[in-house]
Amino acid sequence: MKARASAGERRDRRDRALRIGLPIVVLALGLAVWELVVLIKDIPPYVLPAPARILRTLVSDWALLSQSLLVTLTTTLEGFLLAAAGGVGLAVLFNQWRFLEYSLYPYAVILQVTPIVAIAPLLLIYLPQHAAVLTCAWIVAFFPVLANTTLGLHSVDRNLTDLFSLYGASRGQVLWRLKLPSALPYILGGLRIAGGLSLIGAVVAEIAAGSAGAGSGLAYRIAESGYRLNIPRMFAALLLLSLAGIVIFYLLSLINYLALRRWHESALAAES
Amino acid sequence: MPPATAFHAAPLVALRGVGKAFPNGIRALAGLDLEVGSGEFVALLGPSGCGKSTALRIVAGLSEPTEGAVEWPHAATPAQRESRIGFVFQEPTLMPWASVFNNVALPLKLKDAGADKAAQRVDAALDRVGLLAFSRAYPRELSGGMRMRVSIARALVTEPQLLLMDEPFAALDEITRFKLNDDLLRMWQTLRTTVIFVTHSVFESVYLSSRVVVMAARPGRVFAELAVDAPYPRGQDFRTSPEYAAFCRRASEALSGAMAAGDEL
């Protein structure tokens, strides 16, 4: 019995090592091939820079790029917070007043299905640049929060609803003690999507605003470096954007796990 | 049909000609008359679909009768009635995000009871079902039987006059069910609360109750009543006695009659 358990443990540990190790091997191989191809074919950096060159650019341009990273991250965070507040807030309002849901929900859908790339230039005409970028990030990110929260607020255990009404719970008590906790896993799922989307929204708006010239975020750097054929810097900025996306995703996953680990199926270990 | 047990006072709750028709046209109940006296343990026994759960929900005020009325001779207002009822569902129906303690404390928190007093009452309720040591655990970490105990503790934490139980032990294994049956009888005797217990088990209904009300289906109505006038406390001796077997046979016959009257199923 004990031997079998430890065999299972060993298998688990090997499995985990493979899950972490294999992607790293793939990455190393890919980079090596890339580096070699650029070296052997003697491709100039303005066509395709080698990975080492990109890293060197990242270091040498760090002052400029870190500044831009900060700008983009700030926009993303602001857009995300607004999306979280707006998505959850609207979903709660819709849940409490049905006529409000009927009146506004279709427009939330329209806002969502219209490509943000097409909306961004218009926003830049009517709003100051910072507000326009923020609005873009918000439009892209708030819908998954709204949709998931709405679903969560409707997914309350019927018997628990009966129990609350049996004890004469007020609307506020039902919302605060029953509906919101029930919806929490859904809300967190929506936020996890919204985190990545608010970065996309911020980037789209920066690119659209690029020609206006006042921007200084990472996406603006990419566009600007493109015009100047500074391809290594384009790659370096792209790398930072990817890293930012990954960090946001894992941060939100961590929050998700910490909030749900005691009770929700999704956050529980296979079996203890 | 006169009630099988005599009361010297007005009943705690009475259903008078209660009928329930759902919007889809199904008549779950028709002309249901039932009086439950203070301190009684009444079992509602019947085939599935006979409306016994619907009757229980109507007593609880979770569902409105479409005909007839529910009378509470001793309670004037709905608020008074609320504070008198505890309800145990078929499933434990616990909040998965809250600890055992907070689940049991819910009825008190919804009524804004003082925190200190509430904590004492929650501990007392958990002690009663033998789960005081688990007050910090989450429902997910408990077995099915323990979850049902938490559910019972929550129903009893307000010290209700009337405890409504809707097939609470149907999903549990027999050993756990017997244990919970005994614990429930013990609590009923110490708390002197009134119980209406819905079940489709003849054996459970006879073992627990002082009166078995057999219901027939389509539409749901009272078919027969059977007084189980064996003394409490009941235990293993009662479960194996010829007296118990005789009661079970009579209840079983009444149930067969009810199913025949509820016709082609």
pLDDT per position as a tens digit, A41-86? 999 988 999 999 999 999 999 999 999 999 999 989 999 999 999 9
The CATH number of the domain holding residue B188 is 3.40.50.300
Same domain, B166 and B75: yes
Mean of pLDDT values over B195-200: 94
Q: What is the pLDDT of residues B145-183, one digit of tens each?
A: 999 999 999 999 998 999 999 999 998 999 999 999 999
ipTM, two decimals, is: 0.89
In a domain, B4, yes or no: no
Same domain, B144 and B176: no
Quote the mean pLDDT of chain B. Answer: 88
Cβ distance B87 to A163 less than 8 Å, yes or no, reads yes
Domain around B106: 96-159
Alpha carbons A121 and A114: distance in angstroms, whole number: 13
Which B-chain residues 110-149 have CB contacts (< 8 A) with chain A?
110-111, 138-140
Residue numbers in B near A165 (CB within 8 A): 62
In a domain, B91, yes or no: no
Same domain, B75 and B172: yes
Last residue of a domain, one of B143, B159, B175: B159
**Using omega within 30 degrees of 0 as the cis cutoff, is the peptide bond preceding A44 cis?**
no
- Which of A162, A165, A167, A264 to mutate: most B Cβ within 10 Å? A167
Same domain, B142 and B45: no
In a domain, B166, yes or no: yes
Tell me if chain A has a CB within 8 Å of the CB of B109: yes
Same domain, B50 and B154: no
Q: What is the pLDDT of residues A99-127, one digit of tens each?
A: 999 999 899 889 888 888 888 888 889 98
Cβ distance B110 to A164 less than 8 Å, yes or no, reads yes
**Cβ of B139: how many Cβ atoms within 10 Å?**
20
In a domain, B89, yes or no: no
pLDDT > 70? residue A4: no
pLDDT of A5: 58
pLDDT of A212: 55
Mean of pLDDT values over A209-221: 73
What b-and-e string marks burial along A66-85, b requiring 16 or more CB atoms within 10 Å of the CB? eebbebbbebbbbbbebbbe
Same domain, B20 and B138: no
Same domain, B124 and B238: no
Tell me if chain A has a CB within 8 Å of the CB of B61: yes
SS3 A261: coil
Alpha carbons B197 and B56: distance in angstroms, whole number: 9
Last residue of a domain, one of B159, B193, B212: B159
Secondary structure of chain B as H, E, C letters: CCCCCCCCCCCCEEEEEEEEECCCCCEEEEEEEEEECCCCEEEEECCCCCCHHHHHHHHHCCCCCCEEEEECCCCCCHHHHHCCEEEECCCCCCCCCCCHHHHHHHHHHHCCCCHHHHHHHHHHHHHHCCCHHHCCCCHHHCCHHHHHHHHHHHHHCCCCCEEEEECCCCCCCHHHHHHHHHHHHHHHHHHCCEEEEEECCHHHHHHHCCEEEEEECCCEEEEEEEECCCCCCCCHHHHCCHHHHHHHHHHHHHHHHHHHHCCCC
pLDDT > 70? residue B190: yes
Cβ distance B140 to A268 less than 8 Å, yes or no, reads yes
In a domain, B104, yes or no: yes
Number of domains in chain B: 2
In a domain, B2, yes or no: no
- Which of A256, A263, A266, A272 to mutate: most B Cβ within 10 Å? A263
Same domain, B78 and B126: no
Torsion of CA A169, B122, B36, B70, to 10 degrees: 0
Same domain, B208 and B237: yes
Residue B216, beta-bridge partner list: B221
pLDDT of B263: 61
Alpha carbons B82 and A165: distance in angstroms, whole number: 9
Residue numbers in A near B87 (CB within 8 A): 162-163, 166
Tell me if chain B has a CB within 8 Å of the CB of A159: yes
pLDDT band at A179 (very low <50, low <70, confident <90, very high): very high
pLDDT band at A268 (very low <50, low <70, confident <90, very high): low
Mean of pLDDT values over A199-224: 80
pLDDT of A205: 84
Strands B194-199 and B211-216: unpaired
Tell me if chain B has a CB within 8 Å of the CB of A258: no
Residue numbers in B near A169 (CB within 8 A): 110
| B82–chain A nearest CA distance, Å | 6
Q: What is the CATH number of domain A47-267?
A: 1.10.3720.10
| B11–chain A nearest CA distance, Å | 21
Q: Are A85 and A134 in contact (CB under 8 A)?
A: no
Tell me if chain A has a CB within 8 Å of the CB of B98: yes
Going by C-beta distance under 8 Å and a sequence separation of 6 or more, which residues neighbour residue A115?
none
Alpha carbons A102 and A176: distance in angstroms, whole number: 23
| A212–chain B nearest CA distance, Å | 50
**Cβ of A131: how many Cβ atoms within 10 Å?**
12
Mean of pLDDT values over A221-230: 89
pLDDT > 60? residue A96: yes
Tell me if chain B has a CB within 8 Å of the CB of A160: yes
Angle of helix A51-60 versus helix A62-96 axis, rounded to 10: 90
Cβ distance A177 to B111 less than 8 Å, yes or no, reads no
Q: Are B150 and B92 in contact (CB under 8 A)?
A: yes
CA distances from B260 to B48, B195, B253 (A): 13, 28, 11
Cβ distance B62 to A268 less than 8 Å, yes or no, reads no
Q: Higher confidence at residue B51 or residue B262?
A: B51
**Cβ of A88: how many Cβ atoms within 10 Å?**
23
Q: Taking Cα atoms as reference points, which of A164, A189, A195 lies closest to residue A91? A: A189
Mean of pLDDT values over B230-247: 91
Going by C-beta distance under 8 Å and a sequence separation of 6 or more, which residues neighbour residue B155?
B86, B87, B88, B163, B165
Q: Are A87 and A149 in contact (CB under 8 A)?
A: yes
Residue numbers in B near A163 (CB within 8 A): 87, 89, 93, 106
Secondary structure of B156-209 as H, E, C letters: HCCCCCEEEEECCCCCCCHHHHHHHHHHHHHHHHHHCCEEEEEECCHHHHHHHC
Residue numbers in B near A264 (CB within 8 A): 96-97
pLDDT of B72: 87
Cβ distance A264 to B82 less than 8 Å, yes or no, reads no
Can you read off the two tokens belonging to residue B190? 């110490």
Q: Are A38 and A50 in contact (CB under 8 A)?
A: yes
Same domain, B179 and B80: yes
CB-nearest partner of A263 from B87, B97, B111: B97
CB-nearest partner of A159 from B91, B110, B138: B91
Last residue of a domain, one of B159, B187, B211: B159
Residue numbers in A near B96 (CB within 8 A): 263-264
Mean of pLDDT values over B82-96: 90
Q: Starting at the edge strand that comes first in sequence, how are the strands of the sheet with B13-21 ordered?
A: B27-36, B13-21, B67-71
pLDDT band at A271 (very low <50, low <70, confident <90, very high): very low
In a domain, B228, yes or no: yes
Cβ distance A167 to B110 less than 8 Å, yes or no, reads yes
SS3 A95: helix
Mean of pLDDT values over B20-35: 89
